[in-house]
Amino acid sequence: MSIQRLVCLALVVAACDPGPAHHAKPDAGIFGEQCQPGGSFDINGTAGVLATLNVHINAGGLVDTDAAAELLLLLQVTQTGRDVAVVATPCGLTIPDIPVAGQDKPIHFELPAPLIASVHPVTGTGELDGDRTCATVQCHPITLLIGARMSPAAAGKLPEADANGVFNACLPSTANCYDAITSMCACDQELDGKPGATLTASNVPVVPLEKVYVNIRATFSLSGQVWSSDRIEGEVTASLEQAILGCGKAGGVTCSAGETVLVKNLNPRITQSEQDPSVFRGVRVDEDMTCADLIAMRDVIFGR
């Protein structure tokens, strides 16, 4: 669900971006300010990135609305002339609640910390256009898979439970997504004994869910402006897919095949908002900063 995309998006934003010690929300950036051309810059180092993801959610007639989420990550940036290489580590993701007509409480999904921690860092490349402040940076598209192995990553249909709740599982069954030896299959992302990536769920209509097991594929690219050696801002574009593998109810009860099909029918289609772009801001941070540090200092680093 939106969670999934968000994760991917976060990783890709990392795939080409460094940042500032500027106290403003990411969506306040270049759209309300004008970059003043200045001296040369050096964006080597570590950056914290906060992205605001503006999306449209549609789910089987139950949901048709715009929503926003936030993505938080750390990235290591290496600049060689006008070439940029990055290693991005996801640190956090806030998923928007999904209102449902006729229901008091919105659907809520959450990406648990163990799931985030299980996602390996992502590498990416890009180029800078210019060698002075106000130059632009463009990242090559990156495909991220969570809870699945595909070869090539961008090709083929994601594994999904059929009417009998059956899907193609990776082998060996005890391997995580990075050690499995087969492809075009679903894998246990966080080694919790459940297929794909495990999301916590609440207020889902029809089935009293506590867990949803999914896999995700996202292809992202970003385009930004270099404000200084410590600050980059810009927009994110993304292609997002997710597939339902199963679900769990209260008391650790596994959903039946029929209940899994119902959840599949509620699986929303999430696209970028046509009204508001998804944007990011990068801020330079200490090289030894951890995800825990970034989460604790989020409001200090990025401002409220």
**Residue 95 three-state SS:** coil
Q: Which residues contact 280 (CB under 8 A, 6 or more apart)?
A: 13, 17, 26, 49, 50, 51, 52, 71, 222, 224, 233, 234, 235, 236
- The percentage of the chain sitting over the pLDDT mark of 70, rounded to a whole number, equals 86
pLDDT at 21: 34
Mean pLDDT calculated for residue range 202-230: 82
Distance in angstroms (rounded) separating the CA atoms of residues 179 and 247: 24
Q: Which residues contact 174 (CB under 8 A, 6 or more apart)?
A: none
User: What confidence category does residue 198 fall into, taking pLDDT thresholds of 50, 70 and 90?
Assistant: very high
Backbone angles phi, psi at 91, to 5 degrees: -120, -30
Q: What is the pLDDT of residues 286-298, one digit of tens each?
A: 999 999 999 999 9
Tell me, what amino acid is at 303? G
The region that residue 294 occupies, defined by phi over 0 for left and psi between -120 and 50 for alpha, beta otherwise, is alpha
Distance in angstroms (rounded) separating the CA atoms of residues 303 and 217: 31
User: What confidence category does residue 304 fall into, taking pLDDT thresholds of 50, 70 and 90?
Assistant: low
User: What confidence category does residue 29 fall into, taking pLDDT thresholds of 50, 70 and 90?
Assistant: very low
Q: What is the pLDDT of residues 249-271, one digit of tens each?
A: 988 899 999 999 988 887 777 77
Mean pLDDT of the chain: 79
Q: How many CA atoms lie within 13 Å of 248's alpha carbon, on the beta-carbon side?
A: 17
The token duo for 125 is 């490349």
Least confident of 84-93, 159-168, 178-187: 84-93
Distance in angstroms (rounded) separating the CA atoms of residues 258 and 255: 8
- The percentage of the chain sitting over the pLDDT mark of 90, rounded to a whole number, equals 26
Mean pLDDT calculated for residue range 113-141: 81
Domain range annotation of the chain:
2-302
What is the dihedral angle through the alpha carbons of 58, 64, 65, 66, rounded to the nearest 10 degrees? 30
CB crowding 20-56: b at 16 or more within 10 Å, else e: bebeeebbbbbeeeebeeeeebebebbbbbbbbbbbb
The predicted model scores a pTM of: 0.78
